Amino acid sequence: MGIARTVGSDVFLDYFWIDTKIPFNKWFIFPYISWMPVLYLSFLYLALKNRNIYWRTLLIYNVSVMACNVVFFFFPTYVPRPDLLGTDVASRLVHFIYQSDAPYNCFPSVHCLTSYLLFITFKRDLTLKLPIRIFMYTLLWLIIASTVFTKQHALIDVFGGILFAEATYQLVRYVSSRNQRRDKQLTTSV
Protein backbone atom coordinates (compact mmCIF):
# COMPACT_ATOMS: atom_id res chain seq x y z
CA MET A 1 0.00 0.00 0.00
CA GLY A 2 1.49 3.35 -0.96
CA ILE A 3 1.48 6.23 -3.33
CA ALA A 4 1.45 4.02 -6.43
CA ARG A 5 -1.77 2.21 -5.49
CA THR A 6 -4.66 3.55 -7.50
CA VAL A 7 -8.07 4.21 -6.01
CA GLY A 8 -9.80 5.08 -9.26
CA SER A 9 -8.74 5.08 -12.86
CA ASP A 10 -6.35 7.97 -12.31
CA VAL A 11 -6.43 8.75 -8.58
CA PHE A 12 -3.68 7.51 -6.26
CA LEU A 13 -3.99 6.58 -2.62
CA ASP A 14 -1.22 8.46 -0.82
CA TYR A 15 -1.81 6.70 2.47
CA PHE A 16 0.94 4.55 4.00
CA TRP A 17 0.93 2.07 6.89
CA ILE A 18 2.17 4.77 9.28
CA ASP A 19 -0.91 6.86 8.51
CA THR A 20 -3.08 4.03 9.85
CA LYS A 21 -1.24 4.35 13.18
CA ILE A 22 -2.13 8.04 13.56
CA PRO A 23 -5.44 8.24 15.42
CA PHE A 24 -8.30 10.40 14.23
CA ASN A 25 -8.81 13.25 16.71
CA LYS A 26 -11.83 15.47 16.10
CA TRP A 27 -10.51 18.18 18.44
CA PHE A 28 -7.80 19.03 15.92
CA ILE A 29 -10.55 20.49 13.75
CA PHE A 30 -10.19 23.74 15.69
CA PRO A 31 -6.60 24.47 14.60
CA TYR A 32 -7.51 23.10 11.16
CA ILE A 33 -10.29 25.64 10.62
CA SER A 34 -8.15 28.45 12.04
CA TRP A 35 -5.93 28.14 8.96
CA MET A 36 -7.70 30.65 6.72
CA PRO A 37 -8.07 33.43 9.33
CA VAL A 38 -4.43 32.86 10.36
CA LEU A 39 -3.34 33.05 6.72
CA TYR A 40 -5.23 36.27 5.97
CA LEU A 41 -4.33 37.97 9.25
CA SER A 42 -0.68 37.03 8.78
CA PHE A 43 -0.61 38.53 5.31
CA LEU A 44 -2.30 41.66 6.64
CA TYR A 45 0.30 41.86 9.43
CA LEU A 46 3.14 41.44 6.91
CA ALA A 47 1.66 44.14 4.67
CA LEU A 48 1.54 46.56 7.58
CA LYS A 49 4.89 45.55 9.11
CA ASN A 50 7.20 45.19 6.09
CA ARG A 51 6.07 45.62 2.49
CA ASN A 52 9.15 43.90 1.01
CA ILE A 53 8.61 40.77 3.10
CA TYR A 54 4.89 40.90 2.36
CA TRP A 55 5.37 41.00 -1.43
CA ARG A 56 8.06 38.32 -1.36
CA THR A 57 5.90 36.04 0.84
CA LEU A 58 2.88 36.64 -1.39
CA LEU A 59 5.00 35.72 -4.43
CA ILE A 60 6.24 32.55 -2.70
CA TYR A 61 2.67 31.66 -1.72
CA ASN A 62 1.34 32.10 -5.27
CA VAL A 63 4.20 30.25 -6.96
CA SER A 64 3.88 27.39 -4.47
CA VAL A 65 0.12 27.07 -4.84
CA MET A 66 0.40 27.14 -8.63
CA ALA A 67 3.02 24.37 -8.42
CA CYS A 68 0.63 22.39 -6.20
CA ASN A 69 -2.12 22.74 -8.78
CA VAL A 70 0.18 21.35 -11.46
CA VAL A 71 0.86 18.33 -9.22
CA PHE A 72 -2.87 17.96 -8.51
CA PHE A 73 -3.56 17.89 -12.26
CA PHE A 74 -0.91 15.32 -13.16
CA PHE A 75 -0.92 13.27 -9.97
CA PRO A 76 -4.36 13.34 -8.31
CA THR A 77 -4.40 11.74 -4.88
CA TYR A 78 -6.95 10.53 -2.38
CA VAL A 79 -6.94 10.13 1.41
CA PRO A 80 -9.55 7.84 3.03
CA ARG A 81 -11.59 9.31 5.85
CA PRO A 82 -13.12 7.66 8.89
CA ASP A 83 -16.82 7.31 9.49
CA LEU A 84 -18.01 10.11 11.73
CA LEU A 85 -19.93 9.60 14.93
CA GLY A 86 -21.12 12.20 17.37
CA THR A 87 -23.10 15.40 17.33
CA ASP A 88 -20.86 17.63 19.44
CA VAL A 89 -19.41 20.83 17.97
CA ALA A 90 -16.09 19.24 16.94
CA SER A 91 -17.83 16.33 15.20
CA ARG A 92 -20.18 18.69 13.37
CA LEU A 93 -17.25 20.85 12.24
CA VAL A 94 -15.38 17.78 10.95
CA HIS A 95 -18.52 16.69 9.12
CA PHE A 96 -18.85 20.18 7.60
CA ILE A 97 -15.22 20.13 6.42
CA TYR A 98 -15.63 16.63 4.98
CA GLN A 99 -18.76 17.76 3.10
CA SER A 100 -17.11 20.98 1.88
CA ASP A 101 -13.71 19.62 0.92
CA ALA A 102 -13.48 16.40 -1.07
CA PRO A 103 -10.63 14.02 -0.05
CA TYR A 104 -8.82 14.51 -3.36
CA ASN A 105 -5.72 16.46 -4.41
CA CYS A 106 -4.05 16.00 -1.08
CA PHE A 107 -0.37 15.93 -2.10
CA PRO A 108 1.14 18.33 -1.26
CA SER A 109 -0.94 19.83 1.52
CA VAL A 110 -1.64 23.51 0.91
CA HIS A 111 -2.52 23.88 4.61
CA CYS A 112 0.96 22.63 5.52
CA LEU A 113 2.67 24.57 2.75
CA THR A 114 1.22 27.91 3.81
CA SER A 115 1.57 27.26 7.53
CA TYR A 116 5.22 26.32 7.11
CA LEU A 117 5.78 29.30 4.81
CA LEU A 118 4.43 31.63 7.48
CA PHE A 119 6.51 29.85 10.12
CA ILE A 120 9.79 30.29 8.22
CA THR A 121 8.92 33.86 7.22
CA PHE A 122 8.21 34.84 10.82
CA LYS A 123 11.26 32.94 12.10
CA ARG A 124 13.80 34.06 9.49
CA ASP A 125 12.62 37.45 8.31
CA LEU A 126 10.92 39.16 11.25
CA THR A 127 11.66 39.89 14.87
CA LEU A 128 8.55 39.11 16.88
CA LYS A 129 8.06 39.59 20.60
CA LEU A 130 8.50 36.33 22.50
CA PRO A 131 4.82 35.78 23.45
CA ILE A 132 3.68 36.43 19.86
CA ARG A 133 6.44 34.23 18.48
CA ILE A 134 5.53 31.34 20.81
CA PHE A 135 1.82 31.72 20.03
CA MET A 136 2.30 31.86 16.25
CA TYR A 137 4.84 29.04 16.05
CA THR A 138 2.62 26.82 18.19
CA LEU A 139 -0.52 27.65 16.22
CA LEU A 140 1.17 27.10 12.85
CA TRP A 141 2.55 23.70 13.90
CA LEU A 142 -0.86 22.75 15.35
CA ILE A 143 -2.42 23.56 11.97
CA ILE A 144 0.15 21.31 10.29
CA ALA A 145 -0.49 18.50 12.80
CA SER A 146 -4.25 18.94 12.43
CA THR A 147 -4.13 17.91 8.79
CA VAL A 148 -3.21 14.33 9.71
CA PHE A 149 -5.22 14.07 12.95
CA THR A 150 -8.41 15.15 11.15
CA LYS A 151 -7.55 12.70 8.34
CA GLN A 152 -7.59 15.45 5.74
CA HIS A 153 -4.05 14.49 4.73
CA ALA A 154 -1.46 11.75 5.02
CA LEU A 155 2.08 12.29 6.35
CA ILE A 156 3.53 12.42 2.85
CA ASP A 157 1.23 15.37 2.11
CA VAL A 158 2.67 17.19 5.13
CA PHE A 159 6.24 16.60 4.02
CA GLY A 160 5.33 17.58 0.47
CA GLY A 161 3.80 20.86 1.63
CA ILE A 162 6.84 21.67 3.76
CA LEU A 163 9.20 20.77 0.91
CA PHE A 164 7.29 22.93 -1.60
CA ALA A 165 7.31 25.89 0.81
CA GLU A 166 11.01 25.55 1.61
CA ALA A 167 12.04 25.07 -2.04
CA THR A 168 10.00 28.03 -3.26
CA TYR A 169 11.19 30.20 -0.36
CA GLN A 170 14.83 29.42 -1.20
CA LEU A 171 14.30 29.88 -4.95
CA VAL A 172 12.60 33.27 -4.59
CA ARG A 173 15.24 34.48 -2.11
CA TYR A 174 18.01 33.32 -4.46
CA VAL A 175 16.51 35.04 -7.50
CA SER A 176 15.78 38.17 -5.46
CA SER A 177 19.31 38.42 -4.08
CA ARG A 178 20.77 37.78 -7.52
CA ASN A 179 18.64 40.55 -9.01
CA GLN A 180 19.67 42.90 -6.19
CA ARG A 181 23.36 42.18 -6.86
CA ARG A 182 22.86 42.77 -10.58
CA ASP A 183 21.00 46.03 -9.94
CA LYS A 184 23.73 47.14 -7.56
CA GLN A 185 26.42 46.39 -10.16
CA LEU A 186 24.49 48.32 -12.80
CA THR A 187 24.12 51.38 -10.55
CA THR A 188 27.79 51.37 -9.50
CA SER A 189 29.00 51.00 -13.10
CA VAL A 190 26.95 54.00 -14.31
pLDDT surpasses 80 at 187: no
Report, as an integer, the average pLDDT of 95-102. 94
Report, as an integer, the average pLDDT of 79-100. 94
Please tell me the pTM assigned to this model. 0.89
Give the model confidence (pLDDT) of 55-76 as tens digits: 999 999 999 999 999 999 999 9
Calpha distance 43→60 (Å, rounded):
12
pLDDT surpasses 70 at 9: no
CB 151 within 8 A of CB 79: yes
pLDDT surpasses 60 at 5: no
Query: Which pLDDT value is given to residue 183?
Result: 66
Query: Which pLDDT value is given to residue 176?
Result: 86
Calpha distance 54→47 (Å, rounded):
5
